[in-house]
Amino acid sequence: MSEDIDGGVEPAAPIWPVFGDLMSVLLGVFVLILVGVIGVQLELSSKLDQEVKQRQAETQRRKTLEEALAGPLAAGRVTLVNGRIGISGSVLFALNSDQLRPEGRDLLKSLAGPLSAYLRAREEILMVSGFTDDRQVREGNRRFADNWELSAQRALTVTRALIDEGVPSSSVFAAAFGSGQPVSSNADDAGRAKNRRVEMAPMPRPSSTAKAAS
């Protein structure tokens, strides 16, 4: 009787092969995850490397521009506020004139190289803006109808001088503001002198989409 009972029970299947298959699957999944993590880390490391290099290059360009401006800044001939370079009108022009003075031309010549490199690296364009005080153009001066025209001609003169010194014509343009954007009071000579100025400010270059739309 006992032999009949023992013969009816099937031996249990060994679990080690199943366990081994499971471990192989888990190991494969772990390896895939590890490879993925390493790949992501390498990509992040590469991006970080590029960003560090870009920031270092940007720092160097800013340093070069600041070095070019150091002398004029110390002498009070230019200002640098929020990335806008302001040049006193008296450095560039005689009163009610759009003809560059020699010292003004020398100053623009010293800025042309650093400005070109700065604009090229950032894919930006330079806006050269002319400003005047609120005094009307002298009656004896028939060259300009008003301050709008005087500020426009001064901005054009500076723009052309920069182009002559190597700034690409596609990277610079002129704008006129007349007496509409004073930085000081026009109540005295000192304030009016500050308002007679030319400013240069980098701006985002118009995109190809915007050009196509226009």
How far is Cα 96 from Cα 140, in angstroms, rounded to an integer? 10
Tell me how far apart the alpha carbons of residues 208 and 39 are, in angstroms, rounded to a whole number: 35
| Whole-angstrom distance, CA of residue 60 vs CA of residue 48 | 18
**Which CATH fold would you assign to the domain 54-213?**
60s Ribosomal Protein L30; Chain: A; (3.30.1330)
Task: Provide the token pair at 25.
Answer: 């699957």
pLDDT value of position 7: 53
| pLDDT tens track for 109-129 | 988 988 888 888 878 899 999
Would you kindly state where each structural domain of the chain is located, as residue ranges? 54-213
The pLDDT assigned to 212 comes to 44
CA atoms within 13 A on the CB side of 114: 20
pLDDT score for 209 = 39
Phi, psi at 183, each rounded to 5°: -105, -5
62 torsion bin: left (phi>0), alpha (psi -120 to 50), beta (else): alpha
pLDDT score at 210: 42
pTM: 0.67
Residues of the chain predicted below pLDDT 50: 209-214
pLDDT of residue 140: 58
